[in-house]
Structures are given as C-alpha cells and as structure tokens.
Structure 1
Amino acid sequence: MFKKFRANLATAFQLLTRLPTSWLAAKPAYPSNNAGGAALWPLVGGILGIMPWATITVSGWMGFSSSLCVIIGLVTMVFLSGGLHEDGLADTMDGFGGGKNKEETLRIMHDSRIGSYGCIALILVFLARYVSLGQLMVNHTLLPALIMAGALSRLSMLWLFYTLPLAQDKGVAYGIGKPHSRALKRGVFFTALMGISVLSFSHFIIASLIGGLFTQYMKNLAVRKVGGISGDILGCACILVETGLLVLFSKIISPSSSLLTTPITPFFWT
C-alpha cells in the first residue's frame, strides 16, 4: 500500500513540478495510473508552498532587501512548476479573450505565441503575488498562507477535472485520464488535514469558500467558452485560486490565528 502511495506521489510530482522523483524511491505510475496520482495534487501543492517560504526566509537571514526576497520567492514558485500553470493562465486568457467560438478559442490557446490578454493577466498576477507575499512577510504568516494556497489551488484543479468533460480529445488533460471519485475524496481529505494543521478552523472555512467561488467561476467560464476543460484551463484555475487566496490571507491571517507563524529577523522588512 505504501509502495502504491509513493508511486502515485511520484506521479503527481512528475506532472505538476520539474523536481526529480528519485528521492521517493518509487517508479512513477505514469502513464498507466496517472489519474490515481490526482488524489495527491493538493498534498503536492502544500509541499510546494514550503519551498518559496524557505528561500524567502533564508534570503532574509542573509540580509537581502524585502523586495529582493519576494522576487526570489516568486522565481522559486515558477521554477518549481517550470512555469506550467503560468503558461496555462496566459493561453487561457488569450483564448477566452480573443476567441469568438469554441474552435477559435481552442486554436488561440494552442498558439505558442502570447497575446495581449495573456500578457496583462501575467503582469496582474505577479503584481498581486508580489504585494501579498510582502504583506504576509510583515505579518509573519507566510508559511501557512503558502501551504494552504498551494493545497486549495491544486484541489480546484482536481475538482474541475472530475466534474467537467474534456473540451477536446487531445492534450495534457486527455493524456492524464479522468480521476475517479475516490481520488476527489482523498484530495479533499489531504486538503482538510493541512488546513486544520496550519490555520484556525474559521480561516480554513473562509479560504475554502473563497477558493470554491473562484473555482466555480472558472467552471462556468470554461463551460460557456469551450464546453469543458483542458490542461491550460486547469493551470489557469490553479494560478487564479492560488493568487486570490494569497491576497485573502495577507488580509485576514495574523500570527495569533495561525498554528504556524514564521517570525523573521528585524531587518527583514526595511
């Protein structure tokens, strides 16, 4: 059983990140059981949240300015995923913004060139991330925010993947295969486990509701535009939910309301 868990975890890491999976000492289940690894997407998202926190914290200890620390954290986030979700955001915004029907929307999304809608979306997302991460540093609540934003954003991908049909019979999402109901239940379990471990119950509920609203909006938009989901749409949903939650957490979470506080040395925010 543990061997299967490690194989599915390796599969999830292989799909969502650019990190090696040899440390799991398990062969990824891809492509034979890629959908089974979907249950662990929220867990992988939570783990990925620890890494930018670590680079930001170490940069602060080394005496770098707050702005540079945040930029290093943003670079870490992009590096971990290889820009996979950011690419999905840009492609989806270009397609949804410029496409007049399903066929044209999908054609634009498959175009490797970035358009004005995608460029604007990326700029706004990175600005929102930059400001929210800076505020979370001030509040000493960077770690719980990154963990939960990572977990809930990957759960949103799993929910959309489970509830919506595929928009086309090709692409990354088609190659993965639809996840089963057990995968969704396990994904919810891992998300809830992380949520009650790092946040107060009330803040976990608020974050879940806000994440759910973002996810439902993306679901309605995807159905209206292309009649389903694709890999790009899943990546777009992940980025929007994650960024929205980071902004939310920068406002509502204080050290006293989190079970994980991350105090930084006084020179960290100057």
Structure 2
Amino acid sequence: MSPTSDLVSAAMLLTRLPVRGRPTDPAARAAWAWPVVGGLIGAIAAGVGTALGAMGAEPPVVAAVVLLSLILLTGALHEDGLADAADGLWGGGTRDRRLEIMRDSRIGTYGVIALVLSLLLRWALIAIALQQGQMVEVVLAAAIVSRAPMAIAMRWLPAARDDGVSRGAGRPPAWAAQAGLLLAGLVLLFFGGHGLVAAMLVAGVLLGVGHLARSRIGGQTGDVLGTIQQLSEIAVLVALTSR
C-alpha cells in the first residue's frame, strides 16, 4: 500500500474526519501514520484554541475548548477505552468477566473516576501550557507522541480477544511501529530535557499498563490501547509543562 493509503487508514481508524480513499488492510500496517494523524488532530485543536485566545478568551476557557476539540475529532475513541479498561481491569474477578465488563457499553464507578480525573488533568495542563505561551507546541507534541506507543503495545502483547477493534486491525509490522516511535522521539528532541522526561514517562505508562493488561486479561484490547494513549498524553503534558 502507498503512504496515502496508510494516512487514509490511520485517519479512518483514529478520527471522525470525513476522509475518502482506499485504506490499508489490515489497518495496523499503517501504524507509522498514527502519530502523523495525531499531529493533525493536535494542530486542528490548537488552531481552534489559538483563534479563541486571539478573541480574548481566558486560558481556562481556551483549554476547555481545545480539549473538547480533541475529543470531538476522535469521537471520544480513547476516552471510551480508558473508561472501559478502568471498569474491567479493576472490577472483574476473572479474565472472562473483566473482558465482559470492558465490552459493556455502560460505565461504572472506576470508569467515571478515571474519565473525570483524565479530563481534569488534561484541561489543567493545557491551561498551564497556554499561560506559559507554549500551548500549540505542547498540544501538538502530546497528540503525536501519545499515539506511537499503541503500536508498540500491539507488537508486544497478544490480542486478548478473538474479535474486536484491536484484533481486526492486525499486528503492526516492526518497521511501522519503529517508524512511529522514531517520529515521536524526533518531536520530543525539540524539548530538550523535558522531552527526555516525557519519553521516560511514556515508557513507564506503556510498561505499566501493558503488564497490568497481561496479568488481568492476558493481553491487549482496543480499550487497553486507548488507555495507553490517554495516559501517555497526560504524561507528555505533565513533562512539557513542568518547570
């Protein structure tokens, strides 16, 4: 498949953008493009925030609109995964029951808590980045970098189900996962020491969530990947706004 097909595939999988074209099949072969599409999502959201800020809106309001834009552009794909994983990984007594809970469209206590805390943290960190005068670059970096570890998790961990989004997407080729990781690393280089801290935190998220998922459900699912993305985004925001 061509790079164009890979980009179409990544946009169809990760966003609600009205893209057309022939997607790569299986979708995971386009994993190198996931950070690229993340950059597009971040650029649109940051652009909306920049325009709103130029109109005189206060940082908390701008941060809320940027966060809302990120959510709308993805259809809350990763937020839904975080909530479902929180419910399932912590709320079930057996592997099968955990997977059953994660598939249930209803949200439980653990899911609500995880989602609220995630949204509050992202909103606060985006507002801090805005006050520091680096909202655009920080939002862009977080959107790009947070989508690279999903492909690494798909290569590292087996699919926990015989069906579902992750299973259907396939297993990324090594070169595609490595290319996405390289792109994320190049982005973080621009932030010097803070970028190094971000990389370490993201690695910690990947290892921590990965080991938890392996021990609780035997591998990864789309919800686990969404959790990795969300926590990685928070990790990058924390690192790049720290002083």
Q: TM-score, normalised by structure 2?
A: 0.95
Q: Does residue 57 of structure 1 match 2:55?
A: no
Q: Does residue 93 of structure 1 match 2:91?
A: no
Aligned to 1:255: none
Aligned to 2:144: 151
Aligned to 2:19: 21
Aligned to 1:203: 194
Q: Does residue 107 of structure 1 match 2:100?
A: yes
The answer to whether the 8 Å contact 1:102/1:225 transfers is: yes
State, as a whole percentage, how many aligned pairs show the same letter: 34
Aligned to 1:227: 218
Unaligned runs of 5+ in 2: none
Which of the pair has more CA radius of gyration? 1
Give the distance between the partners of 1:205 and 1:67, measured in 2 at CA: 28
Unaligned runs of 5+ in 1: 253-270
Distance 1:148 1:54, change over 3 A: same
Aligned to 2:161: 168
More moved, 201-210 vs 111-120: 201-210
Q: TM-score, normalised by structure 1?
A: 0.86
Q: CA deviation at 1:19?
A: 0.6
Aligned to 1:5: 3
Q: Does residue 75 of structure 1 match 2:68?
A: yes
Q: Does residue 132 of structure 1 match 2:125?
A: yes
User: For each residue in 1:214-235, what CA deviation from the matched residue of structure 2 results, as whole angstroms up to 9, or x when unmatched?
Assistant: 1110011101110100001100
Displaced runs of 4 or more, over 6 A: none
Q: CA deviation at 1:95?
A: 0.4
Aligned residue pair count: 243
The answer to whether the 8 Å contact 1:95/1:108 transfers is: yes
